[in-house]
Structure 1
Amino acid sequence: MTTATWRPRRARIVPYVLAAVVVLGMILLAVVMPAPWAVGDRIGLVAIGLAVAGVLHILARSRITADDEGVTVVNGLRTHEFEWAELLGVTMSEGAPWPTLDLADGSTVPVMGIQASDGERANRALAELAALIHERGEARDH
Structure 2
Amino acid sequence: MSQENVSPPELPVVWRPRKGRVVAYGFAGLIIVGAVVLAILLPPPFTVVDKVAMVVLGAAVAGVLHLLGRCRVEADETGVTLVNALRVHRYEWPEVLAVTLTDSEPWAKIDFTDGATIGAMGLQGSEKERTVQQVRQLAALIRERGEARDEGGNGGRAGDDD
| TM-score, normalized by the shorter chain, greater than 0.5 | yes
Tell me the distance in 1 between the aligned counterparts of 2:41 and 2:103: 49
Map 1:99-110; keep pairs closer than 5 Å: 99-110=108-119
Distance (whole Å) between structure 2 residues aligned to residue 32 and residue 107 of structure 1? 51
- What's the % identity of the aligned pairs? 47
In the alignment, what sits opposite 1:59? 68
| 8 Å Cα contact 2:101-2:132 kept in structure 1 | no
Q: Give aligned pairs, total.
A: 142
Q: Which of 128, 133, 136 is matched with 2:142 structurally?
A: 133
Between the aligned partners of 1:57 and 1:66, the Cα distance in structure 2 is 21
Give 1:44's match in structure 2, choosing from 45, 49, 53: 53
2:24 is the counterpart of 1:15: yes
> 2 CA distance for matches of 1:9 and 1:94?
19
Match of residue 72 from structure 1: 81
Find 2:44's aligned residue among 35, 43, 46: 35
Deviation for aligned residue 1:28 = 1.3
Which ranges in structure 1 are unaligned for 5 or more consecutive residues? none
What is the TM-score normalised by the length of structure 1? 0.95
Gaps of 5+ in 2: 1-9, 153-162
Q: Which has the larger radius of gyration?
A: 2
> Partners in 2 of 1:91 and 1:77 — Cα distance?
21
Give the secondary structure class of the aligned counterpart of 1:5.
strand
Distance (Å, rounded) in 2 between the aligned partners of 1:2 and 1:85: 16
Segments ≥4 residues shifted beyond 3 Å: none
